[in-house]
Every structure is written in C-alpha cells, then in structure tokens.
Amino acid sequence: MGALEEYLEWSNLPVDIIRLIRLFANETEMLRKAFLKNQTYCSGRNASGEQQAAMDTFADKVLVDLFSNSGLVRELASEEQDSLIRIPDSSGTIALVMDPLDGSSLIQTNLAVGSIIGLYADGDVLQKGKNLTAALYSLYGPMTVLVVSGGKGVRSFAFDPDVGDFVVLCQDIMIPEGKQYGTGGLRNEWTPEHTSVIRYCNDMGFKIRYSGSFVADFHQILVYGGFYGYPSLIGRPEGKLRLLFEANPLGFIVDQAGGRISDGRRNLLLVTPTSIHQKTPIYVGSTGVIEKIEEIYAEKRDA
Ligand code: AFP
C-alpha cells in the first residue's frame, strides 16, 4: 500500500472525504503536465476581477468536472466560478471549496504554484474554517508535493515518478518559530498597523521571502516559520485574499501544525463567511509572531 493510502486509512476520515482526496491526488500529475501547453493568459477575468491564465481555466474545468461527477459533493465553490455550483442529485453530503490554481501570475516564470482544497463533511460552503473536516494543497515545484490534514496533524508527501505514487516527505509537520516573512500590498498603501508590523520584523532581523503565490509562500512559512501577510490596505480594507478558497483551508492546516491565522485582530477560522468570494486581510504563520502582530494591532487601536 502506498504512503498516501496508508495515511488515509489511518486518518479515520469519513469515507467520502477519503475518496475525494484520492481522486484529487490522482489528478495532480496530469495537472502538472498541463503547464506545458497552458502558458498563456486569457482576456477573461474571474469573480475577483483578476486576469485568468489558461491554466486557471483548465485546472478549474478539470477539478469542477472531477468533483461534481464524483457523486460525493453536494455543493462546490471555486475561486474561478462566479456562482456556487449545487449538485442536488448527488448522493453525498460534502461541501467543497477550492482555488484550482493559486499563484497563476507565476505560471510564465516557472515558480511554484498549486491547488488548494477544503472539505466540509456536510452543510454548506459558507461555514467557519474551524468546521472543515479536511484541507489539502498540491504544490507544483521541483517536485509535486501534497500536504494534507484531516484534523490529526499535518503530513506532506512527494510524488515519486519512478514508483508512480506519493511517498512521505514529512510525517508530522509542526511549524517552528521562524524569522521569515512575506507581505503583499504596495508600501504606499500600508496602514499604520501594518507599517508597525514590518518595522518590528526589521528590528528583529526577519528575512523577506515573497513570491506572489500564496500557496508556495505559505508552504515555505510552514516549513521554516515566520509569517505571510496580505493585510488590510488603505483604499482596500478587505485586502486581496479570499476567506473561503485561500484563508480557511490553509488556516486549518497551519492550526493543525501548531500555528495561527488572523486578520490582525481575530482568529480567521472563527469567522462565518457571508458570501463565497469574500475577501479578508491575512496574517498566517508561527503562533508567537501572529500573537505579536495582534498585539501591535491592539496597541494601535488603543493608542
Ligand atoms: P490567484 O493566482 O489564485 O489569483 O491568487 C493570487 C494571490 O491571491 C495569491 O496567491 C498571492 O499571494 C497574491 O495574489 C499575490 O498578490 P500580489 O500580486 O498583489 O502580490
């Protein structure tokens, strides 16, 4: 039995969630190969007004078809779809949220990008991140990496082309207290709170690491510690990242790895979404540094 199968068996996850994780894992090598023929950007824009890459629409079509034809998913929300997809004749109860391809502006530069998926065993997609049953992401870098949490820690796998299956990369990821950070947003749009956060990082000797692919930057923080931030900006208080598709699944994973996700004031996993494309400011990373960021925000508010 392969390492991913062993993990899924050990996880105690509901059988339909296991089936969906398996279905997605089986698609990753095909998605990876598709980058070669999908290097262009389209004239179309997604629901957040961002330019779509050919690979965005390709990955979206593949995964929407895969999940909606699985017979396991009742409701599906994708970052690349304007509206919620309901599958009333499905025999399953799962609500699935996904960013089929995160970091698409990096496709032409061959930097790492990936797919993010969150799975709720039942109910709808507008649930708190803490209610997720499982979350996972793939990362297409020098290796195809799969990071999975079913609520019992976090395990990472790498695809071994010689074996044709995933092997364990890290058995039980715990995020360390590191000193790396990456921040989105133009400097002249930073709020006083965010400016103070960055000043703190500079004073403490943090190193900058930011690629423009949330899933890749997140993975780096998960391994080395520190934080990734896309904050509230002047003129854009909601920031840029999406609560359902990006913040919640990766927030669930970091929480399982002993880290935290916050908007600077509160734990994002406790926020009930009101719309599928809702955006939120994000700070995600090591517990100590996220607590410090919340402290800085509270000091500024009380000043
Ligand atoms: P998509 O590729 O899914 O549209 O996501 C891109 C993204 O939301 C996130 O992955 C990046 O961290 C962020 O945007 C980069 O934004 P900037 O280009 O403003 O730095």
**Per-position DSSP letters for the chain, written without gaps between them:** --HHHHHHHHHT--HHHHHHHHHHHHHHHHHHHHGGG---EEEEE-TTSPEEEHHHHHHHHHHHHHHHTSS-EEEEEETT-SS-EE-TT-S--EEEEEEEEETGGGGGGT--EEEEEEEESSS-SSS-GGG-SEEEEEEESSSEEEEEESSS--EEEEEETTTTEEEEEESS-------EEEE-S-GGGB-HHHHHHHHHHHHTTPEE---S-HHHHHHHHHHH-SEEEE--BTTBTT-SSBIIIIIHHHHHHHHHTT-EEESSSSBGGGPPPSSTT-B--EEEE-HHHHHHHHHHHHHHHH-
Of 58, 79, 105, 283, the residue with max ligand 1 atoms within 8 A of its CB, to mutate for a pocket test, comes to 105
Q: Read off the pLDDT of residues 83-94 as tens digits, 9 standing for 90 and up.
A: 999 999 999 999
CB distance 76 to 85 below 8 Å: yes
Identify the CATH number of the domain in which residue 193 sits: 3.40.190.80
Together in a domain, 39 and 10: yes
Q: Read off the pLDDT of residues 203-234 as tens digits, 9 standing for 90 and up.
A: 999 999 999 999 999 999 999 999 999 999 99
Is residue 175 assigned to a domain?
Answer: no
Together in a domain, 21 and 81: yes
Together in a domain, 215 and 153: no
Together in a domain, 158 and 252: no
- Domain count within the chain: 2
Q: Read off the pLDDT of residues 265-299 as tens digits, 9 standing for 90 and up.
A: 999 999 999 999 999 999 999 999 999 999 999 99
Is residue 55 assigned to a domain?
Answer: yes
In this prediction, residue 252 carries a pLDDT of 98
Is residue 119 assigned to a domain?
Answer: yes
Together in a domain, 195 and 126: no
Of 140, 213, 250, the residue with max ligand 1 atoms within 8 A of its CB, to mutate for a pocket test, comes to 213
Together in a domain, 13 and 161: yes
Together in a domain, 63 and 141: yes
Instruction: Read off the pTM.
Output: 0.96
Is residue 26 assigned to a domain?
Answer: yes
Domain edge (last residue) among 138, 170, 202: 170
Domain edge (last residue) among 131, 148, 170: 170
Q: Read off the pLDDT of residues 99-115 as tens digits, 9 standing for 90 and up.
A: 999 999 999 999 999 99
For ligand 1, say whether the CB of 56 is within 6 Å of any of its atoms.
no
Domain edge (last residue) among 170, 195, 227: 170
Together in a domain, 163 and 185: no
> For residue 50, how far is its CA from the centre of ligand 1 (angstroms)?
9
For ligand 1, say whether the CB of 281 is within 6 Å of any of its atoms.
no
In this prediction, residue 53 carries a pLDDT of 85
In this prediction, residue 45 carries a pLDDT of 76
Count of beta carbons in the 10 Å neighbourhood of residue 107: 21
How large is the angle between the packed helices 15-34 and 3-11, nearest 10 degrees? 150
Q: Which of 63, 76, 68 is nearest to 120 (CA)?
A: 76
Is residue 259 assigned to a domain?
Answer: yes
> For residue 101, how far is its CA from the centre of ligand 1 (angstroms)?
10
Together in a domain, 23 and 110: yes
Together in a domain, 159 and 215: no
Predicted confidence (pLDDT) at residue 51 exceeds the cutoff of 80: no
Identify the CATH number of the domain in which residue 37 sits: 3.30.540.10
Q: Which of 107, 19, 13 is nearest to 58 (CA)?
A: 107
Confidence of residue 43 (pLDDT cuts 50, 70, 90): low
| 37-62 mean pLDDT | 84
Together in a domain, 109 and 213: no
Q: Which of 149, 153, 148, 151 is nearest to 172 (CA)?
A: 153
> For residue 90, how far is its CA from the centre of ligand 1 (angstroms)?
33
- Structural domain containing residue 52: 3-170
Together in a domain, 217 and 109: no
